[in-house]
Amino acid sequence: MSIFDKIKEKLSHEFIDIVEWLDFTDDTIAHRFERYQNEIKNGAKLVVREGQAAVFINEGQLADVFKPGTYDLTTQNLPILSTLKGWKYGFNSPFKAEVYFVNTHLFTDEKWGTKNPITLNDDRFGLVEIRAFGTYAFKIAEPGKFIVDIVGTDNNFTNFEINEHLKSLIATRFTDTVGEANLPIELYAANTTELSETCQAVMLPEFMSVGISLERFYIENVSMPEELKKEIFEYSRIDKLDLDKLTKFKTAKAIEAAALNEGGTAGAGMGMGMGFVLAQQMGGMMSPQMGGQQVAPQQVQSQSAPPPMPQATQYFYALNNAQAGPVGYAQLQSLFANRSINKETLIWKAGMDGWKALNQVEELKGFLGSNTPPPLP
């Protein structure tokens, strides 16, 4: 190459420049176009491809934003930059500016999930915990705002850098949304489509505040502990059955099991009851001779007959905002055991001045786990 060719090549590079960026990755959101001292030649070509936007920054200030197309960089195409630099009569020398190329295509299949369980208060099951996870898709809707608010001076900004922030935002807003929805716990897993649409509408304004558009939001699964699942299934079956018949059936089964458990307290109590009956029968046989004296049949009958049984206490309880009952102590205990009622359920019996929560009724506190039996009526 002769010296004249070298001079010609140098002049051509000095006065001709192309500003463009070819993205060979699938995770870059913003890339800064690197030039020596950030100098761009007068009349340089700017090439912005589909799915891109070019953002010009002048000394930290947002200037011009270009959509897909090919441009000659002159004062006519750089109105904001011309104003910031004070070019009143055009420019003929290289100028300095930072150029960021922003990917505006859709970033899909981004994962999100709740790091910790979400605690909800269900009317029937009390405090419960759920987890959720899914996917979302986003794109850059306002490249200039995104560069200023998020990217800053990062020369190669990837979706990994923004995903942690977005996932935290999603988890927070998801928690708020499901808490305010106040749905029965079993409906969260059954209404993921409606819940996804609601969450997307709630989150969209916060995404847009930094120039990002939340295009898709999906809840793929809402999970809960296995113990809670079993309780929900049992409750759904009970809800389809005759509650009174089921309560009587479970009470009978409980009495039968207690009778078979000879070593337990219930078995011992039943054994004592049978002993009393046997003693009464033997006393009846020996009643004609008591202390060597003849006893009249009327006296035998009066001495061997037991006193009248006390009236069993009957309880009323609130179920689905309606009064239910009355039921006996054993039936009420069975209702508590199968979670038809809980410690917050309102209870009333004769003699009480008003309805009270179950855990405030003294003889019913044994339902909550105490080993001490309730007082005899």
pLDDT in tens, 200-252: 999 999 999 999 999 999 998 888 878 877 777 676 666 655 566 667 777 87
pTM, two decimal places: 0.55
Q: Which one-letter DSSP state was computed for residue 362? A: G
Judged against a pLDDT cut of 50, whether residue 47 lies above it is answered with: yes
Residue scoring higher pLDDT (154 or 10): 154
Distances (CA, A) of 109 to 137, 215, 274: 6, 11, 72
CB 73 within 8 A of CB 42: yes
pLDDT (0 to 100) of residue 278: 43
pLDDT (0 to 100) of residue 67: 94
pLDDT (0 to 100) of residue 344: 84
Task: Give the model confidence (pLDDT) of 135-148 as tens digits.
Answer: 999 999 999 999 99
- Provide the token pair at 133: 């996870």
Which residues have a Cβ under 8 Å from the Cβ of 96 and sit 6 or more positions away?
A: 37, 38, 39, 40, 58
Distances (CA, A) of 101 to 53, 54, 224, 342, 361: 6, 5, 44, 61, 70
Strand partners, 129: 119
Task: Give the model confidence (pLDDT) of 61-113 as tens digits.
Answer: 899 999 999 999 888 888 888 888 887 667 777 888 889 999 999 999 899 99
If you search the block for the tokens 């039921």, which residue do you land on? 327
Residue scoring higher pLDDT (11 or 210): 210
